[in-house]
Amino acid sequence: MQKTVLGIETTCDETAAAVVSLDEEGVGQIRANEVLSQIAEHAAYGGVVPEIAARAHVEVLDRLIARALEKAGTGFQDLDGIAVAAGPGLIGGVLVGLVTAKTLALVTRKPLLAVNHLEAHALTARLTDGIAFPYLLLLVSGGHTQLVAVRGVGDYVRLGSTIDDAIGEAFDKAAKLLGLGYPGGPEVERMAEVGDPERFALPRPMIGRREADFSLSGLKTALRIEAEKIAPLAERDVADLCASFQAAVVDVVVDRARVALRGFSGLAGRPTALVAAGGVAANGAVRRALASLAGEAGLGFVAPPLPLCGDNGAMIAWAGLERLRLGLVDDLTAPARPRWPL
Ligand code: KG4
Ligand code: ZN
C-alpha cells in the first residue's frame, strides 16, 4: 500500500514542509516541496542569527505546512506519519519544528518520525535515483563535512570528517572576506567561473594523508593573506581568488574521497555509487570532479538535483518514510538534539 508522510525542516535558515509518497515498489514521489529561505533576514549579519531564525520559523511554518498539503492534494487524514528534523541544528529552530510535529502527531494520532537532518541528506539519493545500499556518501553542507559508508537505514560508518571548518562554512567565510554576499558558496562559484584558478598558489590541506579527514581553516587563512597582500581588491582579483580557492577545495575533496573509497571495501564491500549531498553538492566544479573520480573507480556518481541538495522538507519526509517502512517510529518524548552525529 502507498504510504505518505509530511516532512518538516527547521534546523537552520530554511523553513520547509513537503509531502512525499512511497509506493509498493519502494519508489518515492515528491508531491509537494515548499521551501522558504530566510536568507534576506540574515544577509545583513553575514551569517545565520539563531534567534532570528527561530522566530522566522514560527511565523511561517503553519502556512507552509498548509500549502504543502494543499499542493499535494492531501489532508492530515491521508498521512501515514509526521516526519521532522529533530536535529542536529540550531536548537530554537529545531524546537519550533519538533513541537509543531508533535502537536500534529498527537492531534491526528499519526506516528511521529524524529529524523536526523544528516540522515535525511544521506538518504536523498535513494529518493531521487533509487540507489541501493551500500554507497559512499560525501556530505558537505554549511555545518558538516563527512565521508560516510552508508550501509543501510541507521547504519552509517564515518570514514572521515573535518577537524575544523565545514566546507560550506569555508565558502561562506571566503565570501565574507572578499566582500561577497551570503550565503557565500554560490557567490564564490559565480566569481570563480570567470577567474584564474592558477593565479594564487593556495595550500591543499590534508592531501596525501591516510585518513579521509578534512581541514579547511589553513586554506581560509592562506586566502586572507593573499587578499591582504593585494588590497584593495579589484573585481578581477576577487574572481581569481575565488577560482584559486575553489580549485583548492576541489582538489582536497577529490583526494579525500579517493582515500575513503579505498577504505570503503573493508567496511561495506563494493559501493553501488559515489553520492554527494548537502548544500555544497550544488557546486558545479565539485560535482564535475566527483563524477570524474567515480568514473575512474568504475562507479556511478549521484548528486540530487539542485533544489534537493540544500535543506528541504522532501528529504525529511523521505527519511521518515524509510524509517516508517522499517517500523522505526518515535513517541512524543523524542528530544530536540542540537548535536546528533550520524
Ligand atoms: O545543506 P545546506 O543547505 O545547509 C546546511 O545544513 O548547512 O548547506 C548550506 C551551505 C552553505 O555554506 C552554502 O554556502 C553552501 O552550502 N553552498 C555552496 C553552494 N551552494 C550552497 N557551496 C559551494 N558552492 C555552491 N554552489
Ligand atoms: Zn543541511
- C-alpha 157 – ligand 2 centre gap (Å): 19
User: Measured between alpha carbons, how far is 97 from 82 in angstroms, rounded to an integer?
Assistant: 11
C-alpha cell, 70: 494543499
Over residues 236-258, the pLDDT tens digits come to 999 999 999 999 999 999 999 99
Kindly state if the Cβ of 142 falls inside 6 Å of ligand 1: yes
> How does the average pLDDT of the chain come out, rounded?
96
Report the run of H or E that residue 205 belongs to, with start and end.
Answer: none
Single pTM value for the model: 0.95
* Contact present, 112 and 13 (Cβ < 8 Å): no
**Domains of the chain, CATH where assigned:** 3-124+311-325 (3.30.420.40), 133-271 (3.30.420.40)
Higher-scoring residue by pLDDT: 201, 43:
201
Structure confidence at residue 46 (pLDDT): 77
* Contact present, 130 and 269 (Cβ < 8 Å): no
What number is the ipTM of this complex?
0.98
- C-alpha 298 – ligand 1 centre gap (Å): 28
Least confident of 41-45, 111-115, 309-313: 41-45
List the end-to-end C-alpha distance of the chain, in Å, as a whole number: 30
Kindly state if the Cβ of 111 falls inside 6 Å of ligand 1: no
CA-based angle 226:231:235, to the nearest 5? Answer: 95
Q: Are strands 155-161 and 112-116 parallel, antiparallel or unpaired?
A: unpaired
Q: What is the 3-state secondary structure (H, E, C) of 246-284?
A: HHHHHHHHHHHHHHHHHHHHHHHCCCCEEEEECHHHHCH
Nearest Cα neighbor of 185 from 174, 195, 196 is 174
Structure confidence at residue 28 (pLDDT): 97
Identify the band that residue 69 occupies on the pLDDT scale cut at 50, 70 and 90.
very high
Over residues 297-310, the pLDDT tens digits come to 999 999 999 999 99
